[in-house]
């Protein structure tokens, strides 16, 4: 089975991305999967009176696209999450196309740890989620 990049194979500056259009079905499924039925996501009557004037996607649903890139592309299959910080800068609206991009910013070969900058943008190139992740890349 294909494995991702090892610590030796990873290079500072390397990037990978994954894009997905977030639909109402994604939000309903995410609420059901996680139990987060916050009315800001699932109740239009409630959400229309909030600052966003309607339902928005769960922040962690958008952030989940970061995990998708890390686990399938860079480092890729076999990578293990150690930590992730996130700042939610703007909402994900239904129908938005979110692109998660990760970039290698530092690596520690001795400890087998890689630090990645993680950013999600929308279709207008607006940064909506920014943060940093630490991963343990797969071994040979």
Task: Tell the residue number behind the tokens 């399938």, with chain if given.
Answer: 72
**Nearest CB to ligand L74YYOSM, comparing residues 38 and 123:** 38
Q: How far is the CB of 120 from ligand L74YYOSM (least distance, A)?
A: 11
Query: Considering only CA atoms, which of 81, 86, 87 is closest in space to residue 114?
Result: 81
Q: How far is the CB of 131 from ligand L74YYOSM (least distance, A)?
A: 10
Q: Is 8 in the site for ligand L74YYOSM (CB under 6 A)?
A: no
Q: Which of 47, 56, 66, 70 binds ligand L74YYOSM (CB under 6 A)?
A: 56
Distance (Å, whole) CA 68 – CA 44? 29
Q: Is 38 in the site for ligand L74YYOSM (CB under 6 A)?
A: yes
Q: Is 126 in the site for ligand L74YYOSM (CB under 6 A)?
A: no
Distance (Å, whole) CA 87 – CA 128? 8
Q: How far is the CB of 60 from ligand L74YYOSM (least distance, A)?
A: 6
Q: Is 75 in the site for ligand L74YYOSM (CB under 6 A)?
A: no
Q: What is the DSSP letter of 68?
A: H
Give CA 128 to chain center in angstroms.
Answer: 10
In terms of C-beta density within 10 A (0-12 exposed, 13-18 middle, 19 or more buried), how is residue 124 classed?
A: exposed
Q: Which residues bind ligand L74YYOSM (CB under 6 A)?
A: 36, 38, 40, 56, 58-59, 87-91
């Amino acid at each position: 089975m294909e494995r991702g990049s090892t610590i030796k194979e990873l290079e500072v500056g390397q990037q990978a991305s994954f894009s997905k259009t977030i639909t109402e079905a994604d939000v309903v499924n995410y609420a059901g999967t996680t139990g987060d039925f916050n009315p800001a996501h699932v109740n239009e009557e409630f959400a229309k009176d909030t600052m966003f004037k309607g339902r928005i996607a769960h922040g962690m649903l958008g952030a989940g696209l970061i995990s998708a890139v890390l686990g399938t592309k860079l480092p890729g299959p076999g990578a293990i999450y150690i930590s992730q910080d996130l700042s939610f800068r703007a909402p994900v609206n239904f129908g938005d196309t979110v692109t998660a991009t990760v970039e290698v910013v530092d690596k520690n070969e001795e400890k087998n740890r890689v630090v990645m900058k993680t950013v999600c943008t929308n279709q207008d190139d607006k940064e909506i989620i920014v943060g940093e992740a630490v991963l343990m890349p797969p071994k040979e």
